[in-house]
Structure 1
C-alpha cells in the first residue's frame, strides 16, 4: 500500500520510464455526478501497488499518465474508471489498451470479464471480484486489498497474449483503430454536465 504523495510520484516516474502502466480502480457511483475513486490499483513492470485517495494521497500523477501519449495504459473495460479520471481529475485518455475490446478482435469471446479473460488468454485463475464491496468504508480488509491487487496482476500478460493473437490473425491495425476511435471522442464516455443530474435523480 502506497502511503505518501512522494511514493506516487516515484511510481509514476517508473511507469514513464517503462512507457507502460496497468490501472484499475474501485469506485462509488451512487448519488454522485461522477464516480468517486476509492482505490487505485497499479501495475508497473510487474510491481503491484495500491493507492488510497480517501487517505488524502494525491493521485494526480496517475491521472497525468492517463493523458500521456508516450505511456500505454493497460486496463480492462475501463469505461467508469476513465469517466472518473476525466471528470474528477481532468485527464484526457490518450493511449489506452482495453483488454476486453482488443480480445474481441483476437478471436476470443466478446465482453469477457477480467476473470474469464485471464483464464481464456493466459490460463490464470482469478478470484471473483469484490464488486459488491463498499469501497468507501475504512478500514479495508486484507481480503479486499488482495482482490484489488489481483485486478491488475495479470493485465500485462493478458495484453501481450492478446497482441500475439492479433498479429497471428492480422488484426492488429483493426484493434488499434477501434481503441483509438473509442477513446478519442470523450463524449462517448463522459455524460455532459447538463445531463448529469438525471443520473443522480433516478
Structure 2
C-alpha cells in the first residue's frame, strides 16, 4: 500500500519512476480520476494497472460498485469510512 503526498517537493518526479515501473502492478479502485491527475502532474499513466472496480464488473460481482461495498461483498468485512471527510490539504496529515 502506498500513500502519496503530492504536496511534498520532488514527489512527482519520484512518482513518475514508480508509475512506469513495469515490474510493479499498480492496483487501484475506480482509477479514472486518478489517471487524469497522474497524467497532468507526472506526464505519465501507471502501467501495468489493475482496476478492482472494472475487475468486479467483469467478474459479475457488480458494476460501478464503491470500494467499501466491494470489500464487504467479497470478504464480508465492513471498512471504516472515517477518513472520507478529512481535509487532505491540511498538513501534517493525521495519524492513521
TM-score bracket for the superposition, by shorter chain length: 0.7 to 0.9
Give the unaligned 5+ runs of structure 2.
none
Aligned residue-pair number: 96
Partner of 1:121: 74
What is the SS of the residue equivalent to 1:119?
helix
Q: Which has the higher contact order (CA 8 A, sep 6+)?
A: 1
In the TM superposition, structure 1's runs of 4+ consecutive aligned residues that sit over 6 Å from their partners are: none
Aligned to 1:78: 31
Residue in 2 aligned with 1:106? 59
Note the 1:98-177 alignment, pairs <5 A.
98-128=51-81, 130-142=83-95, 146=96
Cα distance change on mapping 1:73 and 1:59 into 2, 3 Å: same
| TM-score (ref. length: structure 1) | 0.42
Which structure dedicates a bigger proportion of its chain to strand? Answer: 1
Q: 1:71 to 1:55 in 2, by over 3 A?
A: closer
Task: Report the Cα offset of residue 128 of structure 1.
Answer: 1.5
d(CA) in 2 for partners of 1:137, 1:127: 21
Question: 1 or 2, which has the higher helix percentage?
Answer: 1
Rounded to whole Å, the distance in 1 between the matches of 2:81 and 2:19 is: 26
Please state if 1:68 is matched with 2:1: no
RMSD: 2.1
Q: Distance in 1 between matches of 2:54 and 2:15?
A: 22
| TM-score, length-scaled by structure 2 | 0.79
Unmatched runs of 5 consecutive residues or more in structure 1: 1-21, 23-41, 43-49, 147-202
